[in-house]
Amino acid sequence: EPEVTQTPSHQVTQMGQEVILRCVPISNHLYFYWYRQILGQKVEFLVSFYNNEISEKSEIFDDQFSVERPDGSNFTLKIRSTKLEDSAMYFCASRASREGGEQFFGPGTRLTVL
Amino acid sequence: RKEVEQDPGPFNVPEGATVAFNCTYSNSASQSFFWYRQDCRKEPKLLMSVYSSGNEDGRFTAQLNRASQYISLLIRDSKLSDSATYLCVVNTNAGKSTFGDGTTLTVKP
């Protein structure tokens, strides 16, 4: 069964460093998403991406964040200068079509900023 | 007001009980609706989509009332394995997904 994969599973970084979280969505999917979940809190939408551009982003997704689909398979989230409060689980998701349809989530990357 | 509001929970029920979760959403332009389940420290997984006509999948029944902007999930004959956090998810046409805070269910023997 096809699945979304994410690497690394756990990333530890120093405050102020840049991190890149990687995702490989399901191969025939067209819509891609990043979410974050701070420990003990709700899942929060960060950004959606379609046709090589951002289609929606939340107020959390400020200038320190960027997304890219550098090739036909990877979808990355870059955090330019990490803050302590960026520590969270980051989930990537993909969907075949825009309306309806299930979003398939990856297993997440746990980011710890020290 | 939160965009998606769920019962605060937690719900602690015995095996075999019937439990109902409620969810309301504020954006009348919302297009699609889902219940996801999330186990501790795992990714959310789709439990069921929610349709206006209501839909059932085994012990699970979901209902949508667009006029009231209300979604529900009913679990009958609950099992120990149903213990999880249940997330109400609302999508807009523009591709944004909004999650509720989640309602935690613990089913006890």
Q: What is the pLDDT of residues B69-84, one digit of tens each?
A: 999 999 999 999 999 9
- Using CA atoms, how far apart are residues A53 and A58, in angstroms rounded to an integer? 15
**Subunit contact B43:A106, Cβ cutoff 8 A:** yes
**Subunit contact A33:B97, Cβ cutoff 8 A:** yes
Which among A56, A91, A99 is the nearest to B31, CB-wise?
A99
What average pLDDT does this structure show over A83-109?
Answer: 89
Per-residue pLDDT at B28: 87
**Subunit contact A102:B34, Cβ cutoff 8 A:** yes
Residue B83: CB partners within 8 Å, gap ≥ 6?
B105, B106, B107
Per-residue pLDDT at B97: 84
Question: Per-residue pLDDT for B93 more than 70?
Answer: no
Q: pLDDT (tens digit, 9 = 90+) per residue, A76-95? A: 999 999 999 999 999 999 98
Residue B36: CB partners within 8 Å, gap ≥ 6?
B44, B45, B46, B47, B86, B87, B89, B99
Per-residue pLDDT at A98: 60
Give me the percent of chain B exceeding a pLDDT of 70.
Answer: 97
Per-residue pLDDT at B100: 94
Question: Alpha carbon B78 to chain centroid distance?
Answer: 15
Which among B93, B98, B101 is the nearest to A99, CB-wise?
B93
Which one of B7, B87, B97 would you mutate to disrupt binding with A, by most A Cβ within 10 Å of its Cβ?
B97
Amino acid at B106: T
Chain A neighbors of B38, CB-CB under 8 A: 43
- Collapsing DSSP to helix, strand or coil, A114 comes out as coil
Strands A53-57 and A43-50: what pairing? Answer: antiparallel
Per-residue pLDDT at B54: 86
Per-residue pLDDT at B1: 76
Could you tell me which chain A residue has the CA closest to the CA of B39?
A: A107
Q: How confident is the model at residue A33 (pLDDT cuts 50, 70, 90)?
A: very high
Chain A neighbors of B84, CB-CB under 8 A: none
Tokens 């085994």 correspond to what residue? B58
Q: How confident is the model at residue B91 (pLDDT cuts 50, 70, 90)?
A: confident
CA nearest neighbour of A101 among B55, B91, B67: B91
Beta-bridge partners for A23: A6, A75
Could you tell me which chain A residue has the CA closest to the CA of B47?
A: A102
Chain B neighbors of A99, CB-CB under 8 A: 31-32, 91, 93
Chain A neighbors of B93, CB-CB under 8 A: 98-99
Q: How confident is the model at residue A97 (pLDDT cuts 50, 70, 90)?
A: confident
Mean pLDDT, chain B, rounded, equals 92
- Collapsing DSSP to helix, strand or coil, A67 comes out as strand
